[in-house]
């Protein structure tokens, strides 16, 4: 949202929310999703921000303390993180979303660069994260250690059955910006204005497109990370005011009575350089990395990783309506150079950005719907990750669509280290023992031991429908 507008709005409006608002630079962009496909290369590309040691694994002979594709909830990542890409030193959480590609009329794809949101400093791509409190200083309970959640469904391609004026219809939206972040001034609250649409904007947006992603803020008080990563959370209920329950409070339903901070993310896609390259038939040319040209399949993941009780302390004491990080004395702010220098190296040996690609990484030929998207059978995309990086680290916000060589990531067949002949204990599909892509791994490599992450989830089988549940 536009910062000055929020301030103006907050002072004028009969309601006001205390909040934290801060940038998180890009940590790494690749086909990893340690929540949905732990231990495997994920089906589509994500941009990940936050604290690096998230991906630490246990089921591995080459256990190291820096990086991996699966997450062990027994590890306190805030303690093991050496840095974070988020503004607050205490926040080693991880947040990730799909990324956006431009489909050139000639059929090639290139990643859309991201730009810093307004009044966030100079983060390197990534996103803006908000922890918003209900109005009137209603107390919130911090997410507990081990908490994870997902919002959105990557397979969705239509809004049938979704109330576009309800919380669900406004939770994951896209704002079509006029030049210089224009349009915010007239409608500061994201997700609820006339230029916020569930689907991707159908016209060229002079100032780029901003994704607005609201997570549900009511917890069932029991589950940290259920099989579907979503049913433990619900949106507030009650008559929906103009600006949505996101800012107006609402009441938590009896099934999910615990009020948590409202986690909200904004991502600004710098689509400006593509505005004169729209297809002649007028169809919009952008596609999310899961092969979604509609925008209905936008989704985001959260893995809580705040140090100790720091988030609770911040929620209790940082009741500043501006959300400016420096005003929250309970937390330690990091500089732009500190958050921008925290990086993880790419471990999936394929090109995902910076130049035109023949196809979207993974098997993600655009599926425009309206039918629910399906996983491609017998996907031959690269499915192993490597110990040493060979790709680029971090994003480039300066890439131009005029770069040269077209590469086909699906035929990359180089120096990947695949797990050797399995000899350890068997684990379910999508276990943490390396992985062979979408088929999942079934055994640990020799010399390793298995340590459970979320077996209830792993036995879920078809991930596509686990998320949709
Ligand atoms: C499509 O156009 C881009 C930009 O000119 C170019 O880099 C790419 O090689 C082209 N792709 C094909 C398949 O011609
Ligand atoms: C719309 O999406 C839902 C959920 O993915 C799906 O079940 C339904 O079949 C789709 N509608 C059409 C007309 O394809």
CA distance 93 to 358: 34
Residue nearest (by alpha carbon) to ligand 1 atom 9: 406
Q: What are phi and psi of 21, to 5 degrees?
A: -135, 120
353 in Cβ contact with 392 (< 8 Å): yes
The fraction of the chain above a pLDDT of 90, given in percent, is: 52
- Residue 423 within any structural domain of the chain: no
| Separation CA 101–CA 7 (nearest Å) | 33
Average of per-residue pLDDT across 199-210: 95
pLDDT of residue 467 exceeding 80, the answer is no
CB count within 10 Å of CB 12 equals 8
- Please say whether the beta carbons of 39 and 430 come within 8 A: yes
Task: Quote the domain boundaries for residue 278.
Answer: 1-411
Cis peptide before 370 (omega within 30 of 0): yes
Structure tokens given for 158: 């239509």
Q: Is 90 exceeded by the pLDDT of residue 166?
A: no
For residue 447, the Cα-to-chain-centroid distance in whole angstroms is 34
Closest to 300 (Cα-Cα) out of 248, 352, 264: 264
User: 404 alpha carbon to ligand 1 midpoint, in Å?
Assistant: 8
Q: Whose CA is nearest to atom 5 of ligand 1?
A: 402
Provide the pLDDT confidence category of residue 54 given band limits of 50, 70 and 90: very low
Radius of gyration of the chain (CA): 21
Q: Is residue 255 part of a domain?
A: yes
Give the pLDDT mean for 208-225. 96
SS3 445: strand
Which strand ranges, in their side-by-side order, compose the sheet holding 233-234? Answer: 233-234, 218-219, 258-259
Say if strands 286-288 and 127-132 run parallel, antiparallel, or are unpaired: unpaired
| Of residues 410 and 46, more confidently modeled | 46
The alpha carbon of residue 257 and the mean position of all alpha carbons in its chain are separated, in whole angstroms, by 25
Q: Which tokens belong to 43?
A: 């089906």
Q: How many CA atoms lie within 13 A of 318 on its CB side?
A: 25
CA–CA separation, 226 and 418 (whole Å):
30
Mean pLDDT, residues 136-152 taken together: 92
**Dist CA 112 CA 353 (whole Å):** 8
**Is residue 461 domain-resident?**
no
Q: What is the β-pairing status of strands 100-103 and 94-98?
A: unpaired
Q: What is the residue whose two structure tokens read 């192993």? A: 384
The DSSP call for residue 141 is: P
- Among all bound ligands, the one having the nearest atom to the CA of 154 is 2
Structure tokens at 450: 């298995």
Task: Output the pLDDT for position 415.
Answer: 39
Is residue 290 in some structural domain? yes
pLDDT digits 0-9 by tens, 299-318: 999 999 999 999 999 999 99
| pLDDT score for 80 | 66
Task: Among 155, 157, 296, 299, say which to mutate for ligand 2: greatest number of ligand atoms within 8 Å of CB.
Answer: 157
Q: Would you say residue 371 has pLDDT above 90?
A: yes
- What's the CA-to-centroid distance between 372 and ligand 2, angstroms? 5
pLDDT value of residue 266: 96
Residue 428 domain flag: no
Which of 155, 158, 373, 465 to mutate to test ligand 2, by most ligand atoms within 8 A of the CB atom? 158
Q: What is the pLDDT at residue 244?
A: 74
Using CA atoms, how far apart are residues 111 and 366, in angstroms rounded to an integer?
14
Say if ligand 1 is within 6 A of residue 436 CB.
Answer: no
Q: Scan for tokens 């031959």, then name that residue.
A: 380
Q: Cα-Cα-Cα-Cα dihedral of 371, 373, 377, 378, to 10°?
A: 150
Model confidence at 98: pLDDT above 60 = yes
Counting residues of the chain whose pLDDT is more than 70, the rounded percentage is 72
Contact 349, 407 (CB under 8 A): no
CB atoms within 10 A of CB 130: 21
The pLDDT of residue 183: 67
Q: Which is more confident, 30 or 345?
A: 30
Could you tell me if residue 61 is inside a domain? yes
Number of folded domains that form the chain: 1
pLDDT in tens, 113-130: 999 999 999 999 999 999
Asked if residue 41 has pLDDT above 80, the reply is yes
Across 32-41, 42-51, 100-109, the highest mean pLDDT is recorded for: 100-109
Higher pLDDT, 134 or 54: 134
* Neighbour count for residue 374 (Cβ, 10 Å): 10
**DSSP assignment of 269-292, as one string?**
E--GGGGGG--TT----EEETTTB
Mean pLDDT of all residues belonging to the chain: 77
pLDDT over 50 at 15, yes or no: no
Q: Among the listed ranges 23-32, 270-279, 330-339, 404-413, which one has the minimum average pLDDT value?
A: 404-413
Whether pLDDT at 458 is above 50: no
The pLDDT score that the predictor gives to residue 420 is: 38
| Among 3, 33, 165, residue whose Cα is nearest residue 99 | 33
Contact partners, residue 29, CB within 8 Å, separation at least 6: 45, 46, 47, 48, 99, 111, 346, 352, 353, 394, 395
Higher pLDDT, 70 or 463: 70
Return the closest-CA partner of residue 180 out of 4, 401, 330, 383. 4
Evaluate whether residue 301 is within a structural domain: yes
Least confident of 134-138, 208-212, 299-303: 134-138
Average pLDDT over residues 194-220: 95
Cα separation, 319 vs 128, whole angstroms: 19
Is 38 within 8 Å of 70 (Cβ atoms)? Answer: yes
Cβ atoms of 34 and 75 within 8 Å: the answer is no
Nearest to 97 by CA among 235, 338, 302: 302
Q: How many helices (H) and strands (E) in the chain?
A: 8, 19
pLDDT in tens, 379-435: 888 887 775 333 334 443 333 343 334 434 443 333 334 343 333 333 333 333 333
Pocket probe for ligand 1: among 279, 353, 356, the residue whose CB has the most ligand atoms within 8 Å is: 356
Local confidence band at 192 (pLDDT 50, 70, 90 cut-offs): confident
Residue 370 confidence (pLDDT): 97
Q: What are phi and psi for residue 467, nearest 5 degrees?
A: -75, -35
Q: Of how many residues is the chain composed?
A: 469
Q: Which range in 265-279, 365-379, 433-447 is most confidently predicted, on average pLDDT?
A: 265-279
- Identify whether 452 is part of a domain: no
Which segment of 43-57, 156-170, 283-297, 363-377 scores lowest on mean pLDDT? 43-57
């Amino acid at each position: 949202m536009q910062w000055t507008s929020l301030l103006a709005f907050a002072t004028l409006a009969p309601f006001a929310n205390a909040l934290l608002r801060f940038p998180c630079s890009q940590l790494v962009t690749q086909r990893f999703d340690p929540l949905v496909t732990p231990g495997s290369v994920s089906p589509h590309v994500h941009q990940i921000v936050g604290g690096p040691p998230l991906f630490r694994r246990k089921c591995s002979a080459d256990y190291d303390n820096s990086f991996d594709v699966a997450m062990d909830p027994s590890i306190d990542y805030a303690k093991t993180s050496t840095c974070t890409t988020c503004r607050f030193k205490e926040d080693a959480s991880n947040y990730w979303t799909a990324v956006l590609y431009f489909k050139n009329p000639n059929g090639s794809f290139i990643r859309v660069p991201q730009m810093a949101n307004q009044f966030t400093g100079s983060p390197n791509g990534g996103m803006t994260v908000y922890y918003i409190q209900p109005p009137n200083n209603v107390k919130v309970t911090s997410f507990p250690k081990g908490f994870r959640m997902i919002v959105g469904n990557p397979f969705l391609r239509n809004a049938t059955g979704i109330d576009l004026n309800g919380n669900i219809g406004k939770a994951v939206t896209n704002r079509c910006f006029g030049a210089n972040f224009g349009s915010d001034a007239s409608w500061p609250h994201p997700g609820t204005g006339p230029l916020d649409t569930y689907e991707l904007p159908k016209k060229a947006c002079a100032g780029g497109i901003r994704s607005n992603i609201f997570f549900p803020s009511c917890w069932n008080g029991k589950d940290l990370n259920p099989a579907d990563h979503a049913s433990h959370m619900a949106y507030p209920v009650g008559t929906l005011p103009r600006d949505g329950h996101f800012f107006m409070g609402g009441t938590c339903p009896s099934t999910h009575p615990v009020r948590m901070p409202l986690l909200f993310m904004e991502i600004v896609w710098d689509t400006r350089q593509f505005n004169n390259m729209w297809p002649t038939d007028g169809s919009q040319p952008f596609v999310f990395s899961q092969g979604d040209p509609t925008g209905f399949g936008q989704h985001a993941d959260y893995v809580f990783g705040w140090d100790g009780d720091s988030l609770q302390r911040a929620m209790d004491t940082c009741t500043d309506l501006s959300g400016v990080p420096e005003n929250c004395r309970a937390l330690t702010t990091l500089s732009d150079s500190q958050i921008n220098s925290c990086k993880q190296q790419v471990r999936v040996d394929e090109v995902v950005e910076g130049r035109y690609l023949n196809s979207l990484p993974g098997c993600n030929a655009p599926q425009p719907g309206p039918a629910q998207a399906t996983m491609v059978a017998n996907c031959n995309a690269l499915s192993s990750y490597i110990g040493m990086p060979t790709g680029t680290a971090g994003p480039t916000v300066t890439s131009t669509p005029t770069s040269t060589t077209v590469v086909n990531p699906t035929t990359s067949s180089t120096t990947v280290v695949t797990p050797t002949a399995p000899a350890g204990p068997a684990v379910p599909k999508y276990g943490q023992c390396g992985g062979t892509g979408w088929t999942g791994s079934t055994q640990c490599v020799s010399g390793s031991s298995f340590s459970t992450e979320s077996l209830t989830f792993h036995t879920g089988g078809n991930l596509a429908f686990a998320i949709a549940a």
